[in-house]
Amino acid sequence: MFDTTRANIEYSGAIGIDMICQEGKLPQIPAPFKGNIDIMELSSYISANGAEQIAMVIITVTNNSGGGQPVSMQNIKDTHQICAEHNIPFYIDACRFAENSYFIKLREKGYSDKSIIEIANEMFSYADGCTMSAKKDAFANIGGFLALRNEDLATTCRNLLVITEGFPTYGGLAGRDLEAIAIGLYEVMDENYLQYRIRSIEYLTQKIAAANVPVMLPAGGHAVYLDAKQFLPHIPVDQYPGQALVCALYIKGGIRSVEIGSLMFGKYDAFGKLIPANLELVRLAIPRRVYTQSHIDYVAEVIIQVYHERASIHGIIIIKESKLLRHFTAQMDLI
Ligand SMILES: Cc1ncc(COP(=O)(O)O)c(C=O)c1O
């Protein structure tokens, strides 16, 4: 689950549980579909807790919190089957549906001759609905949508929409943004674009990996993810190595990145001790169709230089934080 998805789930009183596959928890061991759900874990959870306890299953394509890693068609199909057997609604967080479809085309048997739209259609055919932030694979500046198969549920959501975002024909968005989304959803499936997109991320990943910088492998869809735990082994997790690295990259080279680790996903136990996240990552999300190769070379040079100077980087202490989504507004200091 992405951070704001989890926060919305928790705000509604439910609990969000991540069920990432085992290979997704090992940043530097390459595997083709590290965004897959752990099917065994999902099945055992349903058996142990009962399907009626579970409001829905969400699969995020690609997995932004875990390295921009893709989900295989087989995994989507298996998840759909388990959910259907137990009558649990199955949704796709579809932000990066085109990048995920492209990875399926490149990496999954039986899909190399299929078009991106065919692959996307098959992916969505297994779901009861999807959420989409159009700022990602729709090339739009703003907006998104919720798509549902169930007519009654859709009517309920439309009614709620009127009192929250706006009338169903525009949902709080300007007409030009709706047009941008409608066009962007097709434009993003252009294979020449997708090849450029995935190759750019791979280029930066390979360049820094060649300099021994610890980085999530293989390269993900939309971003390069540094493994902060390995990058800064002298900083303990309760001093937030990911956030320390984010600051170091900004100070050294003006590069903006984001921590995806214990600042974003950490919790406290009853004694106020940090329960760390699975991974301590730093994400460098690359805007679509913005940078040239020399921009990316600059980013690589800065990362490599910071890596050489890593022993001088200090941890972080939190001075002030909020209960929900603390990483959005927390105040911190260098130790
Ligand atoms: C996988 C995923 N889901 C949901 C969101 C939330 O999108 P928005 O900020 O448009 O609500 C993001 C944003 O980065 C995301 O990556």
Give the residue, by CA position, lying nearest to ligand 1 atom 9: 133
The CA distances from residue 26 to 30, 31, 125, 144, in Å, are 8, 10, 30, 32
Report pLDDT digits (tens) over 202-221: 999 999 999 999 999 999 99
Centroid of ligand 1 to alpha carbon of 142 (angstroms): 11
pLDDT for position 174: 95
pLDDT for position 219: 95
Residue percentage of the chain with pLDDT more than 90: 93
Query: Using a 6 Å cutoff on CB, does residue 69 contact ligand 1?
Result: no
pLDDT for position 154: 96
Q: What's the mean pLDDT when you consider all of the chain?
A: 96
Query: Using a 6 Å cutoff on CB, does residue 104 contact ligand 1?
Result: no
Locate all alpha helices (DSSP H) within the chain, ordered by sequence.
Answer: 3-11, 39-49, 73-86, 97-107, 116-125, 151-164, 175-187, 191-210, 228-231, 241-253, 262-265, 293-308, 326-329
Closest ligand 1 atom to the C-alpha of 142? 10
pLDDT tier, 323 (very low <50, low <70, confident <90, very high otherwise): confident
Tokens 């674009």 locate to 193
pLDDT for position 20: 95
pLDDT for position 106: 97
**pTM, two decimal places:** 0.95
- Rounded mean pLDDT, 244-259: 98
pLDDT tier, 50 (very low <50, low <70, confident <90, very high otherwise): very high
Q: Residue 63 in contact with residue 20, Cβ under 8 Å?
A: yes
**Does position 28 have pLDDT exceeding 90, yes or no?**
no
Query: Using a 6 Å cutoff on CB, does residue 164 contact ligand 1?
Result: no
**Does position 232 have pLDDT exceeding 90, yes or no?**
yes
Report pLDDT digits (tens) over 95-119: 999 999 999 999 999 999 999 999 9
Report pLDDT digits (tens) over 180-191: 999 999 999 999
CATH of segment(s) 3-189: 3.40.640.10
Centroid of ligand 1 to alpha carbon of 221 (angstroms): 14
Report pLDDT digits (tens) over 299-320: 999 999 999 999 999 999 999 9
pLDDT for position 324: 85
Q: What are the structural domain ranges in the chain?
A: 3-189, 192-334
* DSSP β-bridge partners for residue 333: 317
- Please name the CATH architecture into which domain 192-334 falls: Alpha-Beta Complex (3.90)
Query: Using a 6 Å cutoff on CB, does residue 100 contact ligand 1?
Result: no
Closest alpha carbon to 95 in 112, 120, 126, 128: 120
Query: Using a 6 Å cutoff on CB, does residue 60 contact ligand 1?
Result: yes
* Sign of the dihedral through C-alpha 67, 73, 74, 80: positive
